[in-house]
Structures are given as structure tokens and as C-alpha cells.
């Protein structure tokens, strides 16, 4: 029965498209997210996804249709502008990075809402369907969406391979990178662009709020199993990929379960599992060494006290 349902599902064309799309997105954000978390800029992704909204709105106003490429260009530009403002505020004044992030996030999102509500008052509002960017509509993914994700994804992966060494250096220790003579600004611009592009691609399927989880989750989970970037990166990609597909399956089989949140829940299970069960750093492993050490420790102190009593 279950098996039949599964084969039916896997033969379903719509499911194939959606699963392919979310799986690939998961893979991509797993890989790129690893750099963002290494740079300790995990939450920048959250701010960026919110900041993309006005770009999408303005893009729609200019091209007057829901042509994905146009909207994505708008989103990328507004995401980059937001990043620039956050960096400017936190580096050129006593404003803390975290405060700049929150301010830009909500102001840009507010601007997005203002533009969206403005659009909704227009005759072609229905055509816009821009709500999908806020909550994500993976189930409505079309072949051309998946094709676009695949093409841009390939380009991003190519960039990662070409700049492998530089990215590694700059995500660990940008100051050291600069001393070696790499152009810091250029590499950081490429990295930001790649991160922004990945987020924008994720917007349509999981939406503004949850896309940052897709970026952070896989790398945090993968990080628990290895210290080597060469292993963490593909592992994060794999975890993202599996979460994407599993989340899509659950949402297709289950009754009224939205895809984006379903992917995030699956991903979170991977994260929590890794945090607890990873053999060396994991919470359980640590707890048992802690107990052993404390036992040893107590004994030493008892011996010491006995000695004093003598």
C-alpha cells in the first residue's frame, strides 16, 4: 500500500519537478551556506532574504510581468544594496552589526510591503502573485524554474571550484588573506554575490523567512562530523539535498503540509541529530567524557584530602 503510493508519487511528473528543484536548491544552499557560517555571517542571509522583497516589487513594476529572471535581477540588486548599507553602518560607526542587520531587514521588508500593496491596487495584481516570495511556493514550481535554478546553480558551483583556495582563505581569515596579496574587496564581492544569488534562488520555493535556515542548517549539521572544508562542503550539500527531497515527499504525501516549512523541519532534525550524536564533538559524547573526567577528578581530590588528613 505504502509502496504503491510511493511509486505513484515518484512517477508523478509534478512531484519530479518539484523534488528536483528543492533538492538542487538544498544542495546549493548547503554548499554556499558553509561559507556564510564560516564567516560568522549566518544571519546576514536572513537580512538579505527580507531585503530582496522591494527589488522583486520594483522589478515587477518595470517589466510588468512575473518574468522570473527580471524579478531575480531586481532582488539581487536590492540584496546587494542592503548588504552594502549593513556593512557601511557597522564598520563606519559605533552601530553594532546585529543592530544594523535588524534595522535594514525590517526597513527593506517594509518597503517591499509598501510596493506590493501599491501593486495590489493595480489591475494586473492577480498576475503578480508576489505573495509566493514571502511564503514560498515550491509546489508551484515549473520546469523553467528548475532549469533556471540548475543553470545559475551550475555557474555558482563553477565559481566555488575556481575560487576554492581564495574562498577558503577569506572565510577563515580575511586579514591573513589580504597579507598574501589577494584582492580582498574583489573576493568578498564575489562571495557576497554568490551568497545573495543562492538566497534569491531559494526565495521562490521556501520563502523569505525560511531561506536562511536552508543556508545555515546543512553547514551546521555537516560541521559536526568533520573539520575539513573538503568534507564539510559536500556533506552540507548532501544534507541540503536530502532535506529538500524528503521535505517535498512529506508535503506531497501528507495532508495540507506546506513544502517550505516541511523542508525546514526535516533539516532541523538533521541538525539536532548531528549536534547530539556526532561521535567526537556531539553533546552525548561530550557528556560521557565529562562524566568520566569528573569521576577521575573526584578520586584525585579524595586522595589528596586523605593525604592532608595524615
Partner 1 sequence: MEEQKAIKIHQLTVAYDAKPVLWNASVTFKKGKLTAIVGPNGAGKSTLLKTILDFIKPVTGQIEYFVGKQSSEYKEIKNHIAYVPQNSTVDWDFPATVLDVVLMGRYGHLGWFKRPRKKDKDIAKEMLAKVGMTTFFNRQISQLSGGQRQRVFLARALAQEADIYILDEPLAGVDMKTERIIMDLLKELTKENKTVIVVHHDLQTVEAYFDEVVFINQEVLNNGPVSSTFTKGNIDETYRQDRNLGEEEGE
Partner 2 sequence: MSIIAEITLIAVVVSVACSLPGVFLVLRGTTMVSDAITHTVLLGIVLAFFITQDLNSPFLIIGATFMGVFTVWVIEALQRTKLLGDDAAIGIVFPLFFSVAIILITRYTGDIHLDQDTVLMGELAFAPFRRLTFFGVDIGARAFITMVIILLINAGFIALFYKELKVTTFDAAFAAAVGFSPILIYYGLMTLVSLTAVGAYDSVGSILVVGFMVGPGLTAYLLTNELKKMIGVTVLIAVINSIVGVRLAFILDSSIAGMIAVITGIVCFLAFTFSPTKGLIRNLLNRRKRQKKFDEKVKNVY
Chain positions contacting partner 1, by CB under 8 A: 94, 286, 289-290, 293-294, 296-297, 300-301, 304-305, 308
Window of 69-77, 161-169, 186-194, 217-225 that interacts with partner 2 by CB under 8 A: 217-225
**Residue 109 contacts partner 2 per CB under 8 A:** yes
305 binds, among partner 2, partner 1, none (CB under 5 to 8 A by kind): partner 1
**Residue 62 contacts partner 2 per CB under 8 A:** no
CA angle 132–258–27, rounded 5-degree value: 80
152 binds, among partner 2, partner 1, none (CB under 5 to 8 A by kind): none
Measure Cα distances from 162 to 9, 17, 119, 155, 192 in Å: 38, 29, 41, 11, 16
Q: Which is nearer to partner 2, 293 or 300 (CB)?
A: 293
- Name the CA radius of gyration of the chain, rounded: 23
256 binds, among partner 1, partner 2, none (CB under 5 to 8 A by kind): partner 2
Smallest Cα–Cα separation from 32: which of 279, 271, 282, 212?
A: 212
Give the nearest distance from C-beta 159 to partner 2 in angstroms.
23
223 binds, among partner 2, partner 1, none (CB under 5 to 8 A by kind): partner 2
Give the nearest distance from C-beta 65 to partner 2 in angstroms.
22
Give the nearest distance from C-beta 162 to partner 2 in angstroms.
27
185 binds, among partner 1, partner 2, none (CB under 5 to 8 A by kind): none
Going by C-beta distance under 8 Å and a sequence separation of 6 or more, which residues neighbour residue 2? none
Number of residues that bind partner 2 (CB under 8 A): 67
- Strand stretches in the chain, DSSP E: none
Measure Cα distances from 65 to 53, 58, 68, 70, 197 in Å: 16, 11, 9, 9, 21
Per-residue b/e over 156-195, b at no fewer than 16 CB within 10 Å? bbebbeebeebbbbbbeeeeebeeeebebeebbebbbbbb
**Residue 140 contacts partner 2 per CB under 8 A:** no
**Residue 76 contacts partner 2 per CB under 8 A:** no
297 binds, among partner 2, partner 1, none (CB under 5 to 8 A by kind): partner 1
**Residue 17 contacts partner 2 per CB under 8 A:** no
Residue 207 to residue 201: CA distance in whole angstroms: 10
Question: What's the full length of the chain, in residues?
Answer: 310
C-alpha cell at 247: 521535505
Going by C-beta distance under 8 Å and a sequence separation of 6 or more, which residues neighbour residue 271? 217, 220, 221
**Residue 240 contacts partner 2 per CB under 8 A:** no
Give the nearest distance from C-beta 143 to partner 2 in angstroms.
26
**Residue 283 contacts partner 2 per CB under 8 A:** yes
**Biggest CA pair distance of the chain:** 94
Window of 58-66, 83-91, 175-183, 237-245 that interacts with partner 2 by CB under 8 A: 83-91
Going by C-beta distance under 8 Å and a sequence separation of 6 or more, which residues neighbour residue 107? none
Binding site for partner 2 (CB under 8 A): 37, 40-43, 45-46, 50, 85, 88-89, 92-99, 101-118, 121, 131, 134-135, 209-210, 212-213, 215-217, 220, 223-224, 255-258, 260-262, 264-265, 268, 271, 275, 281-283, 286
Amino acid at each position: 500500500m505504502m509502496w504503491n503510493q510511493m511509486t505513484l508519487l515518484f512517477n508523478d511528473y509534478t512531484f519530479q519537478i518539484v523534488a528536483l528543484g528543492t533538492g538542487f536548491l538544498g544542495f546549493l544552499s548547503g554548499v554556499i551556506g558553509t561559507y556564510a557560517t564560516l564567516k560568522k555571517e549566518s544571519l546576514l542571509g536572513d537580512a538579505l532574504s527580507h531585503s530582496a522583497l522591494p527589488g522583486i516589487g520594483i522589478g515587477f513594476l518595470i517589466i510588468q510581468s512575473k518574468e522570473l529572471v527580471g524579478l531575480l535581477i531586481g532582488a539581487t540588486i536590492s540584496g546587494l544594496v542592503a548588504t552594502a548599507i549593513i556593512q557601511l553602518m557597522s564598520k563606519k560607526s559605533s552601530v553594532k552589526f546585529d543592530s544594523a542587520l535588524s534595522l535594514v531587514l525590517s526597513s527593506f521588508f517594509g518597503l517591499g510591503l509598501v510596493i506590493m500593496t501599491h501593486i495590489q491596487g493595480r489591475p494586473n495584481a492577480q498576475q503578480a502573485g508576489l505573495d509566493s516570495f514571502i511564503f514560498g511556493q515550491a509546489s508551484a514550481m515549473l520546469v523553467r524554474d528548475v532549469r533556471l535554478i540548475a543553470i545559475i546553480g551550475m555557474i555558482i558551483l563553477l565559481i566555488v571550484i575556481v575560487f576554492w583556495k581564495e574562498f577558503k582563505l577569506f572565510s577563515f581569515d580575511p586579514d591573513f588573506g589580504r597579507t598574501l596579496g589577494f584582492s580582498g574587496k574583489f573576493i568578498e564581492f564575489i562571495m557576497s554575490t554568490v551568497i545573495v544569488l543562492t538566497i534569491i534562488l531559494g526565495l521562490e520555493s521556501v520563502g523569505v523567512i525560511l531561506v536562511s535556515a536552508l543556508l545555515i542548517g546543512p553547514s551546521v549539521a555537516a560541521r559536526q562530523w568533520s573539520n575539513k572544508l573538503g568534507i564539510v562542503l559536500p556533506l552540507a550539500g548532501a544534507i541540503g539535498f536530502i532535506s529538500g527531497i524528503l521535505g517535498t515527499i512529506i508535503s506531497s504525501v501528507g495532508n495540507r503540509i506546506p513544502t517550505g516549512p516541511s523542508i525546514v523541519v526535516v533539516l532541523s532534525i538533521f541538525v539536532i541529530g548531528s549536534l547530539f550524536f556526532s561521535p567526537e564533538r556531539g553533546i552525548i559524547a561530550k557528556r560521557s567524557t565529562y562524566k568520566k573526567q569528573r569521576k577521575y577528578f573526584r578520586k584525585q581530590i579524595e586522595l589528596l584530602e586523605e593525604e592532608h588528613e595524615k
